[in-house]
Amino acid sequence: MKKRNFLKGVALAALTAAAPVAALAMDTVKVAYMKIPPLVSIKYAIDSGIMEAHDLNIELTVVNGGPELMTALASGSADIGQTAAGIALLARSKGLPIAVFGTGDTERQPDYNHNWLIGTEEAGTTDLKSLEGKTIGVVAKNSPATLAFMSHMVAAGADPSTVEFVALPFPQLPSALEVGNVDAVHVGEPFHGMIMSSDKINAVELANGLIHSDEGTEYALGAWFAQDKWLAENEDIAKRFLAAMEQSYRELVEDRSKVNAILMAEFGMPEGAANATPLPLKAKSFTTTIDQYEPLLEQMVLTGMIEEGKLDLNDAVRAVDYK
């Protein structure tokens, strides 16, 4: 009798010990992210344990550009990607079966801006019309950076087809402008501040905003996206992922020192530059809506980056309700 009770106790103890293991089982998600300052948000979500608290094990791969990110997504080496929303739309228009499921950031003129086009008095690029025939530095060709120049130039009556675009990493753009290797650049912070405070050139802001838009128009800048098949099979994971990212953003908003610490560690920024770098921390929700992408698509069609009729936003944008 005592033996039977002992065996029952052993069995019960084994079941009790196994329960926490099952509870700790997490879903592994492979995420590809460009090495740009908003990387802070997912780094914090991972390092602080927020992703783990949402039962997610994130395998993060940091890539240097949009094409590399899309290759990772198309090959299946990444489940989720994050980069400029325009890159996601462009890829979808070319037949890659990916869809946006969350909007990471938006831009609205004139009060919320992340993009600047900058020329110099020395290069004679002091307005958008003067860019014709010039060499312009962008982080990548056929990218949102080139869209920015084309959109603003078309609105100003200038011909963007006369421009030669040169691809350079963001950190190299200020020095390329200073030495005259390029006549204008597209940048965000902290590079905008570096250029405008340079004592080597007389910098001129030509335009701000990723696209030319009416005042008050809000449009998507950054997007979370995945292949159609992955989204269809993993909607619950996508919901938990966005919920974890929102929590990460809220905690970063409450403590700017956490943002600065990651910028200094990951990007080698001095504290002053880190503190001056804006991040998409104003987002109240990452739930995506089609109207956030309509102004972007309109300008991509207008500038010839996407052929008219090649993209249906109802296919390209699929909101995940994670609230």
User: What residues have CB less than 8 Å from 195, skipping those under 6 apart?
Assistant: 118, 174, 177, 178, 185, 187, 201, 203
pLDDT of residue 94: 92
Going from the C-alpha of 238 to that of each of 80, 123, 143, 234, the distances in angstroms are 9, 47, 26, 6
pLDDT higher than threshold 50 for residue 19:
no
DSSP state letter for 143: S
pLDDT of residue 285: 82
Band (pLDDT 50/70/90 cuts) for residue 7 is very low
pLDDT higher than threshold 90 for residue 27:
yes
pLDDT higher than threshold 50 for residue 13:
no
Band (pLDDT 50/70/90 cuts) for residue 74 is confident
User: What residues have CB less than 8 Å from 220, skipping those under 6 apart?
Assistant: 85, 100, 103, 105, 106, 288, 292, 293, 296
Burial of 290 (0-12, 13-18, 19+ CB in 10 A): middle
pLDDT of residue 15: 38
Burial of 114 (0-12, 13-18, 19+ CB in 10 A): buried
pLDDT of residue 279: 77
Band (pLDDT 50/70/90 cuts) for residue 24 is low
Do the beta carbons of residue 237 and residue 37 sit within 8 Å? no
More confident site: 68 or 79: 79
Q: How many other C-beta atoms are found inside a 10 Å radius of the C-beta of residue 55? A: 15
pLDDT of residue 282: 65
Band (pLDDT 50/70/90 cuts) for residue 155 is very high
Q: What is the pTM of this model?
A: 0.85
More confident site: 243 or 16: 243
pLDDT of residue 111: 81
Do the beta carbons of residue 180 and residue 172 sit within 8 Å? no
Tens-place pLDDT, residues 260-306:
999 999 888 888 888 888 776 666 788 999 999 999 999 999 999 99
Do the beta carbons of residue 163 and residue 145 sit within 8 Å? no
pLDDT higher than threshold 80 for residue 223:
yes
Going from the C-alpha of 184 to that of each of 154, 187, 223, the distances in angstroms are 16, 10, 27
pLDDT higher than threshold 90 for residue 186:
yes
Percent with pLDDT over 70 in the chain: 91
pLDDT higher than threshold 80 for residue 195:
yes
pLDDT higher than threshold 80 for residue 3:
no
Distance CA 219, CA 225 (A): 16
Question: What does the pLDDT average to over 3-13?
Answer: 41
Residues β-bridged to residue 185 = 118, 137
Distance CA 292, CA 317 (A): 10
3-state secondary structure of 103: strand
pLDDT higher than threshold 70 for residue 6:
no
